[in-house]
Amino acid sequence: MSNTAPSHAPTITRLPLAERLKPWLPVLLVPVLILLGFLAIPATSSWLTLTVSGLAMGMMIFVIASGMTLVFGLMDVINFGHGAFISFGAFVGTSVLLALGAMTGAPSLLLNLLAVAGAVLAAMVVTGGMGWAFERVIVRPVYGSHLKQILVTMGGLIVAEQLIYVIWGGHEIVIARPETLKGAFTFAGAALEKYRVLAVAVGLAVFLALRLVLRRTKLGLIVRAGVENPEMVQAMGYNITRVFVGVFVAGSALAGLGGVMWALYQEVITAPMGNEIMILVFIVVIIGGLGSVEGCFIGALTVGLVQNYAAFLEPKLALISNIALMVAILMWRPMGMVPVVKAKG
């Protein structure tokens, strides 16, 4: 590097390039990974397909995980029942889409998107409401005890999963994508599924919207400050509990959105699907740094890409690859890629 050449006027504020780059390393991880994928995968077209599919998957996981990581950051609450919102979102959304068969079957992009929007809205309303009840009934009494939180939210997950069986029956449901979202288009010789591109767009929109709220609004200020020191936010005159309930509901609704997205991605839904996705979500929030939305975003894209590249290069290693990724990142940065500052341990 050129600026490591001897210089006789070092100022205190000017750190060496390597030092200054350090906080940005995680951000570079995604492009580097995509580049590595390009080198490892022989055909450019398959690389492009895999990259889009990895990003789509990552975006969906991000949508699901963002709420969970914020809930943890804000109130130190770990919700193992988050997967229930994914499943419920998927089932509610699918029911709406099946009911709107005329709209989803029509070869009109507008009608199709309206149907999907209706499904998403219904799913988010239901899971948001569930989140509210979940926070009230299940989480509220066990603030401050991680052990009890894990146990109780796990119990909540079991109950919610069983309720899906009661309401929708035990069998899986097949759901086809709306007419105009089926199939793929060709770009630079690679077949890109339309739906995956849409998923990337939706995920990106959610990320940007979250960032906007967190960076530009008073509510965002309260949330960011609350992640670091909830007590001080209280002492400044903000009711953090109310903010927390809001974040919990929003996070649950986002999980519901993720559930609908995942349903249309897989085109089949089952009751335990939420909990299966949670495994990836946990990996993402751990490597991203519990409590950090940015870290969660980077982590989700990384996991999505690694999963897809690995599945292509060595199918049997797909799931193991993410565990390996998690181990590697935890060895590199034990608190995750974007560690969250906490006022106290």
Q: Which is nearer to other proteins, 110 or 327 (CB)?
A: 327
Closest listed residue to residue 272, CA positions, set 57, 126, 84, 67: 84
Largest CA distance in the chain: 74
**Which region, left, alpha or beta, applies to residue 169 given φ > 0 means left and ψ of -120 to 50 means alpha?**
left
Any contact of residue 172 with other proteins (CB under 8 A)? Answer: no
Tokens at 82, concatenated: 């988050």
Task: Name residue 252's beta-bridge partners.
Answer: none
Q: Which is nearer to other proteins, 149 or 252 (CB)?
A: 149
Choose the binding region for other proteins from 24-32, 38-46, 51-59, 157-165 (rule: CB under 8 A). 157-165
User: For residues 169 and 166, what is the distance between their CA atoms, to the nearest angstrom?
Assistant: 6
Any contact of residue 297 with other proteins (CB under 8 A)? Answer: no
Count of beta carbons in the 10 Å neighbourhood of residue 301: 27
Say whether 339 sits in a helix, a strand or coil.
coil
Q: What is the DSSP string of 140-167?
A: GGGTT-HHHHHHHHHHHHHHHHHHHHHH
Any contact of residue 25 with other proteins (CB under 8 A)? Answer: no
User: For residues 248 and 17, what is the distance between their CA atoms, to the nearest angstrom?
Assistant: 40
Any contact of residue 46 with other proteins (CB under 8 A)? Answer: no
Q: How far is CA 302 from CA 23, 49, 50, 61, 140, in A?
A: 17, 16, 13, 11, 33
Choose the binding region for other proteins from 24-32, 89-97, 124-132, 281-289 (rule: CB under 8 A). 281-289
Q: Which is nearer to other proteins, 34 or 142 (CB)?
A: 142
| Size, binding site for other proteins by CB under 8 A | 64
Q: Which is nearer to other proteins, 18 or 327 (CB)?
A: 327
Q: Which is nearer to other proteins, 34 or 282 (CB)?
A: 282
Any contact of residue 27 with other proteins (CB under 8 A)? Answer: no
CB-CB contact of 230 with 75 (8 Å):
yes
Any contact of residue 212 with other proteins (CB under 8 A)? Answer: no
Residues 301-340 that bind other proteins (CB under 8 A): 316, 319-320, 322-323, 326-327, 330-331, 334-335
CB-CB contact of 284 with 333 (8 Å):
no
Taken as a whole, the chain contains a residue count of 345
Whole-number minimum distance, CB 193 to other proteins, in Å?
25
Residues 240-259 that bind other proteins (CB under 8 A): 240-241
Q: Which is nearer to other proteins, 107 or 315 (CB)?
A: 315
User: For residues 180 and 160, what is the distance between their CA atoms, to the nearest angstrom?
Assistant: 33
Any contact of residue 80 with other proteins (CB under 8 A)? Answer: yes
Any contact of residue 275 with other proteins (CB under 8 A)? Answer: yes
User: For residues 60 and 210, what is the distance between their CA atoms, to the nearest angstrom?
Assistant: 14
Any contact of residue 237 with other proteins (CB under 8 A)? Answer: yes
Any contact of residue 268 with other proteins (CB under 8 A)? Answer: no
Among 17, 117, 239, 314, binds other proteins (CB under 8 A): 239
- Where on the chain is the footprint of other proteins (CB under 8 A)? 78, 80, 138, 141-142, 146-148, 150-152, 154-156, 158-159, 162-163, 165-166, 170, 218, 221-222, 224-225, 227-229, 231-241, 272, 275-276, 278-279, 282-283, 285-286, 290, 316, 319-320, 322-323, 326-327, 330-331, 334-335, 341, 343, 345
